[in-house]
Structure 1
Amino acid sequence: MSRLERVRERLRRAYESGRNAVRAGRERHRARVGTVSVQPGGPDSGVASPATPGPAAPPSAVVVGAESPAAPHPSTASQDDADVPHALRIAAAWSWRLLVVGLVGWALLRIVGQIRIVIIPLAVALLLSALLAPAVGWLLRARFPRSLATAVVLVGGVAAVVGTLTLVVNEFIKGVPELSKKSSQGVRQIQDWLKTGPLHMSDSQLDRYINEGQQWVNDNTNRLTSGALSTAATVAELLTGTLLVVFATFFFLRDGRIIWRFLVRLLPVGARWKVDDAGQASWSTLVAYVRATVLVAFIDAVGIGIFLVVFDIPFAFPLAALVFLGAFIPIVGATLSGTVAVLVALVDSGLVTALIILGVVIGVQQVEGHILQPLIMGRAVAIHPLAVIIGIAAGVVLAGITGALVSVPLIAVLNTAVRRLAARTVPDTPPDAVVVAAKAP
């Protein structure tokens, strides 16, 4: 190596040594100030800052005071989830949960549809048990054995239903011939009104409409016949359902509390008292609803039946019984069953009497909706009319007339149960609970 190259090498080393000393001084100064702290590294490690340009910081450098990247939210699984807008993540979470709930609900409806011959009688048995439970309680307080008290109440209830149906059928059979004669007269009056009334229909138009009706009946004869052929199966299902209702009602009245305690014990220990409290409140709501509905239905039937007797309308007792049964469907039941009484009055006594009966039906419906139900049922089973209408419509679609009867009490029970489960209160200690106290130190 020549002399010049040796001098150049010494100058380069001196320059690098001075530069490293300056860098070390800067790093010590920044460490004292708290701006930059550099982990120990080689002599060539560099630090970059906005104030002092230089080589890029090595991977081991830790910048103190600079903004660190945003940490993912605890609800996100990765940084990618954190980059998705919060509103979109919430909407997606709601969407898949609603899909799961809808799928489970659809599966439950399919299962209920497959075993409706069992579900519907059990629901009717629960309603009858809620109606007859107070009578069983009275007999138990009179020192009757539980099985005997249940049997007496159940037999008495069945005898009352059979006796009422017998009276209705007998009166209906007696009045059919006279009503058929008057119905033909009513049909002729309707034809005369169609000709001379505001419609001014001609004989040819009437004949055409009558022929179209007969043609429709002829075209649907096969469908009507197939329905008649399935009558045997329908009767068998009806008998099976009736027997199941009787036996289920007996055991619900006799062993209802035991059955409920067995079901509650299947739940986790922490949820038992809460569910038991909600179940007891729901049962009280059901009992109050059924008793109030029976009372309201009886008042409706008596009110309309009195006017039917006053105006000498045939089938007054069967029509009153029909109103009584129809009133178990709130809001619309009494009106629909009262429409039958209006039609009978129209056929038997003319338009004026039919309009009077229609006014009576509407008046009774208004009294029921605005006075009787709020006064008798109270707030314990108060349901918004929109919820009642939607529940009745859904019940009719799913299970026909039985669904309409069961839907409203089901909504009332679910309303009470959800409110109790959502309440932030600790239920009372059951009377049969065993509390083990620790010894004082």
Structure 2
Amino acid sequence: MPDLTGPLGRLGHYGRLGWSTAGLIIGAALLVIAVGVLLPLVLPLLVVAVVGATLQPVVDRLRRRGVPAGVAALVGALAVPLGLIVLIVLFGLAVAEEAPQWTRALEHAGEWLHHQLGADPVKALRQWPGWRSALTGIGTALASTAVVVVQLAVGVLIGGYLLFYVFRDGERCIALIESRVPQRPGLARELVRSAAYQFRRYMFGTTVIAMMDAAVITLGAILLNLPMAGTIAVITFVAAYVPYLGAWISAAFAVAVALGSGGVPAALWMLLIVLITQNILEGILRPTVFGRALGLHPVVVLGVTILGAVIGGLFGVFLAPPVTAIVVSWRKALKSQTASGGTA
């Protein structure tokens, strides 16, 4: 044992402690940088893993009922693209149906602005010195949205292609991994099933959040006496599964319906309801729901969600809780494997 009672001993102890702390900080920084660089590359695979783990029981049930493996895999792979197509078609039909009401509402809004401003709002906007910059900003935002939509479409197509082979050849891949891993037989399969279970629990938590969003926003639409409350409920519920873009789509649809049927006051009330639901209520409910679903403390869920946002943006927010739960469950499995190997 080194002598820590003398000045040199204490100095050496503090020096080792300082180097350990510096190494820990540098290692954490390098880990954050590495994850930030690699996340865009592995993100499609992680999203495919989430969807695949969620839909795998459906594919397995089809195969048990005698459906050929290829057909069952194709049904599972097409579930997400077809769901998005149905959502887009439903959104488009509702927009086309409500277009006349929105035209009249915009006319009423223009008249209200004319009364408040004492002048034509379009003329006042044209006389505003910064209107060109504002239009440029709006154009840039629309272009960015179009790029995101195209990227999402390409990602959905690639994800569907990968999902087909995951569903069809998943068991074969697990067996291949198991034959290459120098651990006890069945450990690789146990780890994969544990990860799939955590992903399914996470999607269960997302479903609870989606139900809350749909219930509160639909109740607000009913209280405001808006039409198409059922359509608002369906679009809000389904869009909750799409990170970031889904919230914008559902919010825009609900506010547009309110504008078309009740004018500016109803639209403002609906916008307030949407903002409170998707920001305040979700912020309170999400850590608790995901904490119980994933077996993590709500504070841990909140912390890893913030860390995921820093490292991976909005998709990091989406993936951080289930990935953390998987790491915890794998650590327990490997620790039990080491303990059983040590006692054997």
Fold conserved between structures, TM > 0.5: yes
Q: 1:246 aligns with which of 140, 160, 164?
A: 160
Identify which of 313, 320, 343 aligns with 1:410: 320
1:239-290: CA deviation from partner (whole Å, max 9, x where unpaired): 54232111111122233343344445554437x8766644432321111211
SS in 2 for 1:378: helix
* Unpaired runs of at least 5, structure 2: 339-344
CA 1:172 to 1:309, structure 2 compared with 1: closer, same or farther past 3 Å?
Answer: farther
Q: CA–CA distance in 2 between the matches of 1:376 and 1:421?
A: 19
Instruction: Give the 3 Å change call, closer, same or farther, for CA 137–304 of structure 1 in structure 2.
Output: same
The DSSP-based 3-state class of the residue aligned with 1:144 is coil
Pick 1 or 2: higher relative contact order, CA cutoff 8 A, min separation 6. Answer: 2
Matches within 5 A, 1:360-439: 361=274, 362=276, 378-382=292-296, 383-384=298-299, 386-387=302-303, 390-391=306-307, 393-394=309-310, 398=312, 403=315, 407-421=317-331, 426-427=336-337
Of 123, 128, 132, the match for 1:215: 132
1:211-244 deviations in Å (ceiling 9; x for gaps): 14413146659x849958x97x878755542321
Among 139, 145, 168, the residue aligned to 2:62: 139
- Unpaired segments of 5 or more residues in structure 1? 1-69, 74-79, 196-201, 429-441
Pick closer, same or farther for the CA change 1:365–1:224 going to 2, 3 Å: closer
Closer, same or farther in 2 for the Cα pair 1:216/1:236, shift >3 Å? Answer: closer
Amino acid across the alignment from 2:76: V
Could you say which residue in structure 2 is the equivalent of 1:438?
A: none
Distance 1:322 1:392, change over 3 A: farther
- What does 1:314-333 correspond to in 2, within 5 Å? 316=229, 319-328=232-241
TM-superposition CA deviations, 1:371-399 (whole Å, max 9, x none): 8985798343554363365156336xx45
The residue identity in structure 2 corresponding to 1:168 is F
The verdict on how the C-alpha distance between 1:315 and 1:296 changes in structure 2, with shifts beyond 3 A counting, is: same
Question: Between Structure 1 and Structure 2, which shows a larger proportion of helix residues?
Answer: 2
Task: Please state how far the C-alpha of 1:409 moved relative to its aligned partner.
Answer: 3.6
Tell me if structure 2 keeps the 8 A contact 1:311–1:353: yes
More displaced 10-residue stretch of structure 1: 131-140 or 143-152: 143-152
Counterpart residue type for residue 318 of structure 2: V
Deviation at 1:122, TM superposition (A): 2.3
CA distance in 1: counterparts of 2:259 and 2:153, whole angstroms: 36
Please give the root-mean-square deviation of Cα atoms over the aligned residues, in Å.
5.0
Q: Distance in 2 between matches of 1:267 and 1:236?
A: 39
Q: Distance in 2 between matches of 1:234 and 1:330?
A: 12
* Equivalent-residue separation in structure 2 for 1:239 and 1:370 (angstroms): 32
Aligned to 1:286: 199
Asked whether the equivalents of residues 186 and 346 of structure 1 are also in contact (C-alpha less than 8 Å), the reply is: no
In structure 2, the partner of 1:67 is none
Change (3 A) 1:165 1:298: farther
CA contact (8 A) 1:275 1:421 kept: no
Question: Which amino acid is 1:386 matched to?
Answer: L
Larger Rg over CA atoms: 1
**CA–CA distance in structure 2, aligned partners of residues 294 and 212 of structure 1:** 47
